[in-house]
Amino acid sequence: MSGSEKYGTVHGVGLGPGAEDLMSVRADRLVRGTRQIAYFRKKGRSGHARRIAQGLLRADAVEIAMEYPVTTEIPLADPRYNACLSDFYAECTDRLLAATRSGEDVVVLCEGDPFFYGSFMHLHSRLSGQIPVEVVPGITGMAGAWNATGVPITWGDDVLTVAMATLPEEELVRRIRDTDALVVMKIGRNLPKLRRAVAAAGREQAAWLVEHAAMPGQSVTRLVDAQEVAPYFSILLIHGQGRRP
């Protein structure tokens, strides 16, 4: 960015777990007030972040839809997966740079919190140092999930582990066995593997599956009673049982 150019700011705005009224005041102000709105989505879908913001956008809003080139079509371990996504994030970065070149801000809608396993992190690392970038924190999906159970996730000195169900099964068993409280995300088609890992760790009776936390259709089920298939927005929980007065 040369000294003669004045770029707008890219705001990564955390929308929270899914309910419009769980957004922060700052997030609400930016989403309602900023004309240029960007968001990630799968091809052919509206995108969850865009659905949360439905009804909040200005009448003259310019929408910048960033469509993932792959989701599950290529295995994570395949070098093509990272290469494909790297090109995608580079392209998105260029689009946001172009959108801010006139000095106008852009809001990037982010599910949950932008810095917690979110796609916006990959744009932030590419944009930082080139143009102004700011982040608005959001309530995470896992916070929505454990509040849906009505039970605290941690007590006293409990250690909380956050793991991805995409991990190898033996790694999941170790993580589940070695922690007090547990959150597992990115379940989907990994549910059978996760079930086996929870059982192998001896914690099957303590595990809960929360689907669509803080969204329409929210459900809270003991893992032993859950269906064999979990939707994308599913989180497994094991509550800590630590020290308390």
31-83 residue pLDDT tens: 999 999 999 999 888 899 999 999 999 999 999 999 999 766 566 667 787 88
| Structure token pair of residue 233 | 């927005």
Is pLDDT at 200 greater than 70 in this prediction? yes
**Can you give the residue range of the structural domain that contains 200?**
142-238
Quick one: 135 and 150 in the same domain? Answer: no
Lowest mean pLDDT among 25-29, 216-220, 235-239: 216-220
More confident residue, 23 or 81: 23
Give me the DSSP letters along 14-49: E-BSS-GGGS-HHHHHHHHH-SEEEEEE-TTS--HH
CATH of residue 152's domain is: 3.30.950.10
Q: Would residue 157 be called left, alpha or beta, if left means φ above 0 and alpha means ψ between -120 and 50 degrees?
A: alpha
Helix axes 120-127, 79-100, angle to 10 degrees: 60
Quick one: 116 and 190 in the same domain? Answer: no
Lowest mean pLDDT among 103-107, 144-148, 149-153, 227-231: 227-231
Quick one: 40 and 59 in the same domain? Answer: yes
Quick one: 147 and 125 in the same domain? Answer: no
Q: Would residue 147 be called left, alpha or beta, if left means φ above 0 and alpha means ψ between -120 and 50 degrees?
A: alpha
Q: Using 50, 70 and 90 to split pLDDT, how confident is the model at 205?
A: very high
Is pLDDT at 1 greater than 60 in this prediction? no
Residue 80 has a pLDDT of 80
Quick one: 186 and 75 in the same domain? Answer: no
- Compute the average pLDDT of residues 193-214: 97
Examine residue 92 and state whether it is found in any structural domain, yes or no: yes
Quick one: 42 and 132 in the same domain? Answer: yes
| Cα distance between residue 205 and residue 30, in whole Å | 43
- 10 Å CB burial of residue 75 (0-12, 13-18, 19+) is exposed
Quick one: 117 and 161 in the same domain? Answer: no
Quick one: 179 and 123 in the same domain? Answer: no
Is pLDDT at 118 greater than 60 in this prediction? yes
Q: Could you give phi then psi for residue 93, rounded to 5 degrees?
A: -60, -45
Is pLDDT at 119 greater than 90 in this prediction? yes
Quick one: 135 and 69 in the same domain? Answer: yes
Closest CA to 244 of 164, 152, 162: 152
How many C-beta neighbours within 10 Å does residue 67 have?
A: 13
Is pLDDT at 131 greater than 60 in this prediction? yes
CATH of residue 59's domain is: 3.40.1010.10
Domain boundary pick from 139, 159, 174: 139
